[in-house]
Chain A
Amino acid sequence: MDVATLTLTQAAQALATHEISSVELTRAFLTRIEALNPSLNAFITMDPKGALQAAEAADKRLARHEGSPLTGIPLAIKDLFCTRDLRTTCGSRMLANFHPPYESTVTARLKAAGAVILGKTNMDEFAMGSSNETSHFGPVRNPWDLERTPGGSSGGSAAAMAAGLCVAAIGTDTGGSIRQPAAMTGITGLKPTYGRVSRFGMVAFASSLDQAGPMTRTAMDAAILLQAMAGEDPQDSTCLNSPVPDYVRAINQSMRGVKIGIPEEYFGSGLHPEVRLAIEAVKEVYQGLGAILVPISLPHTQHAIPTYYIIAPAEASSNLARYDGIRFGHRCENPKDLKDLYARTRAEGFGAEVKRRIMLGTYVLSSGYYDAYYRKAQQVRRLIAEDFARAFREQDLGVILTPTTPETAFRLGEKNADPVSMYLSDIFTINVNLAGVPAISLPCGFDTQGLPIGFQLIGRPLDEVAILSAGHAYQQASHCHTITPGGKA
């Protein structure tokens, strides 16, 4: 059995029929990780002991024909989810030795479902970055081309997935951090509706935008994982209490007659011609499945980047104030006084991009600037959300189809000198976070350099069923998602 290309669905089938045990599967991935991680740097912390224990427990459940589709499935978890007693660094020197005394709701639910956690994946520091280069633990490399970024901030999860180091992975998405790396590594990545999945135990970057989601080989696999992750949590007041539909059962909906909105603003001059071409092909597949393409406009799209880079840093500047060297995390040596303790702890513990965003956020919230920046950004944010609501309502759309990124994976170091060009890498994904709607990125081909291209499907709030079933329909009609980098890594 080639574990490197296994889908979650296939793995669950193999486990249920005892074709393979969870311990065998787990060992196979641990072996692959040992071999490939040194060149990819996808994992920050491995937990072979915990993984094998979980696998043994899963095998016992499987032997009794108990458990869920996730029982015994080896997963890779972004190192932003707090895992009890297992180091959680958030890609930062600040938390390089942090062992949480509690478990995030997401990992708690996955563990309860019987999943096996192989380890914690690399990421941009505090999820601030689009290339995984801001990690204190070094950049992750893209399995399709080791000189290139896998995207960010969930770059470790994306690379682990693409290189076949796990059956599925969990990421988080604040401005595109699941979808952009999914597109750049040729996997499927889902950002659910804001509030669909609990944020409890996720180290906060921007509280009003952060959302956890699955990174998988297929839309079907994403549905299985979302099923286990989603739903009300008394520990997160922003988590929605709407009932969770049966995503797996709902995934086989036909595309016949479904209206797909094509927003003109996403197909401007910034879009690389090869990406554009690939998206044209996706449109044809959907037309072939009986869907109806509808040109639409999302007029406030152009304001997304500045709006995001006010709101996200503002929240981050406040969220990251707790890293003061007093109760946990990094503390500077021999502080002279309180100010020195704060200043040196934070100067040493945070990297450059995190400091840049803390300063940006502090500035936009300052008295005299608040109205011009933060309040204005919140107003624009409402207009962006209204753009989506109006388009769905007036055109009776099922989903909206866009490219996920303007270009394929860029070279490591290519955009480091110019933060704004790095920020533009998320231009098609950020609107979705600002509006709080769900979106999925799916692989749809390769450019002439052999690098994966992704497209994005956006749904109405809480309509994950629409994007999952549209994604599944596409993957039934095409085979891009089955292509892996193979021996490249």
Chain B
Amino acid sequence: MNADSRFETVIGLEIHTQLRTRSKIFCGCPNQFGSQPNTQICPVCAAFPGVLPVLNREVLNMAIKTGLALNGQIRLRNEFSRKNYFYPDLPAGYQISQFELPIVEHGELMIEPEDGPRKRIGITRIHMEVDAGKNLHEGIIGASWVDLNRTGTPLLEIVTEPDLRSAAETGAFLKKLRAIVRYLEVCDGNMEEGSFRCDANVSVRRWGETKLGTRAEIKNLNSIRNVMRAIEFEVDRQIDRIENGEKVIQETRLWDANQNLTRSMRGKEEAHDYRYFPEPDLPPVLLDPARIETIRATLPELPDQKFLRFQDQYGLSDYDAGVLTANRELAEYFESAVRAALPADPKVVANWVTGELLAFLNKEGLEISQSPVQASALGALTGMIHKAVISGKIAKTVFAHMCVHGGEPQQIVLEKGLTQVTDQGAIEAEVERILGAHADKIAQYRAGKTQLLGFFVGEVMKATRGKANPGVVNELLINKLST
């Protein structure tokens, strides 16, 4: 915890989200990864002389969608600018971005941090820009190679106000934002693979101070956990400096996850002068308000709305509703399971999803989309418990089987002969047999050792290989033992 009785932490974020468009932002090349270097490129990607950018309308739609989901104002006239600097992975010598007139301004996101109450975080701006290529150094001596496949990938840069006050708040913000871009299907939110990248501006100031402290910009944060760890380290580092009478220097620092520390990358004086100016190859983007309304109408239900609906419609707890709506696929999984389970109680379905299923997926490191247990199967399983076709215990066996082999629970129960026996006569016969074999225990029971009921139930269940309906077994045993 960074909480310090004398210092307040102030954090602002810059998040780069790679958009999942079919083609790149300014040319027709496919927007996909994993190909051989420099095979997904064209003269526009490589900034050959005389070629021109043409804006992909899909990028514009995704930017508007994201802006609306974050409650931002869409600028009806926005423009692209050039950010000029030399680097081999930047073929034109400038990045096409937005500077003075971004597409979205004045957005917000509500977060529910673990260390405090629900809180509004301001979104300063969201702008469209183009990603750079990659310089390759590994395994090459005396040279570097450049792979331009990533050049031209559309990005949305989301910039927050310095409203975050702790690593926990920052973690909550990033989780929420990532859920939203995934809900919108604009970005896959994969931080490890760099499709959702975060830089954090961190500073500290004495409580009561209204002026912001000198900030350090921290880069190379490839997971939410690393963002939080880096903030914690950086806050301690800055407080130590101030306590030791040193100044915090405005600089860019890199997070080293192995050594658990940040180190200086470049100072303010080494910062580039980007010489921004309006991109003359692209006319200003003029948006029709009707187009924005059309896009607004296509917005999916977002996490907050879904959370409320799940509570309302399914009677879920805060916890279950929170877990199930944190991820759109999980929420969809839950709802299809509920449909398949009808008329079983959705709360029971929620327990299975947040309990057994997530425990299994976490253990195996699987995403919900990779679950071997289909939503319909889990729903059917819950339905079978509800209809007393199988017991909860058998259900766990069937679930474990599905985790390995997949399949439909009805089929598995049939094949393995796991159907619960609710037939009074059949169970009664088994009960009689067990009682007949344990006359001594019956005497003890009748003498007052009633906890032996559990023993008898266990024996009957064992004998029926768990298929007997435990309610019926209980009832029969109590009746017979008390007579």
Contacts and interface: CB of A to CB of B under 8 A. Distances in A.
Interface in B77-105: 82, 84, 86, 88, 91-94
A366 B277 CA distance: 10
Q: Which 8 A-B pairs have the closest CB atoms?
A: A321-B93, A207-B280, A365-B275, A208-B280, A203-B49, A322-B47, A201-B50, A203-B50
A237 B48 contact: no
A167 B50 CA distance: 26
A286 to B, nearest CB: 36
Interface stretch (B52-60, B61-69, B199-207): B52-60
A202 interface: yes
B280 A315 contact: yes
Interface stretch (A32-40, A99-107, A293-301): A99-107
B355 interface: no
B150 to A, nearest CB: 15
Nearest to A338: B88
Give the one of B43, B53, B277 with max A CB within 10 A.
B277
Given A102-B43, A237-B53, A237-B55, A366 B48 contact: no
Contact of B275 (A203, A208, A322, A367): A367
A88 interface: yes
A446 interface: no
Interface in A421-457: none
A22 interface: no
Interface string B275-298: 111001111000000000000000
Interface string A56-100: 000000000000000000000000111000001010000100101
Interface in A322-347: 322, 324, 326-328, 338, 342
Interface of A: 80-82, 88, 90, 95, 98, 100-102, 104, 199-204, 206-208, 234-238, 314-315, 317-318, 320-322, 324, 326-328, 338, 342, 362, 365-367, 370, 374
Contacts of B50: 80-82, 100, 104, 199-204
A204 B281 CA distance: 10
Contact of A200 (B52, B55, B273, B275): B52
Nearest to B83: A318
Give the one of B43, B51, B282, B283 with max A CB within 10 A.
B51
Given A203-B49, A324-B93, A367 B88 contact: no
Interface string B132-154: 00000000000010100000000
B80 to A, nearest CB: 10
B46 interface: yes
Nearest to A240: B283
B98 to A, nearest CB: 15
A365 B83 CA distance: 11
A374 B99 CA distance: 15
A206 B280 CA distance: 8
Contacts of B86: 321, 324, 342
A82 B275 contact: no
A321 B277 contact: no
A234 B48 CA distance: 18
B277 A370 contact: yes
A202 B273 CA distance: 28
A91 to B, nearest CB: 12
Contacts of A101: 43, 48
B64 to A, nearest CB: 19
B100 to A, nearest CB: 10
Given A101-B43, A321-B93, A365-B276, 18 more contacts: A101-B48, A102-B48, A199-B52, A200-B51, A204-B49, A235-B52, A235-B54, A237-B281, A237-B282, A314-B277, A317-B275, A321-B86, A322-B47, A326-B88, A326-B146, A328-B48, A365-B84, A366-B275
A238 B283 contact: yes
Given A324-B88, A327-B91, A338-B88, A102 B51 contact: yes
A100 B49 contact: yes
A318 B82 contact: yes
Contacts of A365: 84, 275-277
Given A318-B277, A321-B94, A100 B53 contact: no
Contacts of A81: 50
Contacts of B280: 206-208, 238, 315
A302 B49 CA distance: 33
A322 B49 contact: yes
A201 B51 CA distance: 5
Contact of B92 (A98, A236, A315, A322): A322
A201 B48 CA distance: 9
A402 B9 CA distance: 66
Contacts of B43: 100-102
Give the one of B49, B91, B277 with max A CB within 10 A.
B49
A207 B278 CA distance: 11
Contacts of B55: 237
A338 B47 CA distance: 19
A368 to B, nearest CB: 9
A350 to B, nearest CB: 13
Contacts of B283: 237-238
B281 A207 contact: yes
23 contacts: A100-B43, A100-B49, A100-B50, A200-B50, A201-B51, A204-B49, A207-B281, A234-B54, A236-B52, A237-B55, A237-B282, A238-B281, A238-B282, A315-B277, A315-B280, A317-B275, A321-B84, A321-B86, A321-B94, A326-B146, A342-B86, A366-B273, A367-B275
Contacts of B49: 82, 88, 90, 95, 98, 100, 203-204, 322, 328
B277 A374 contact: yes
A287 to B, nearest CB: 41
Contacts of B46: 327-328
B90 to A, nearest CB: 9
A322 B91 contact: yes
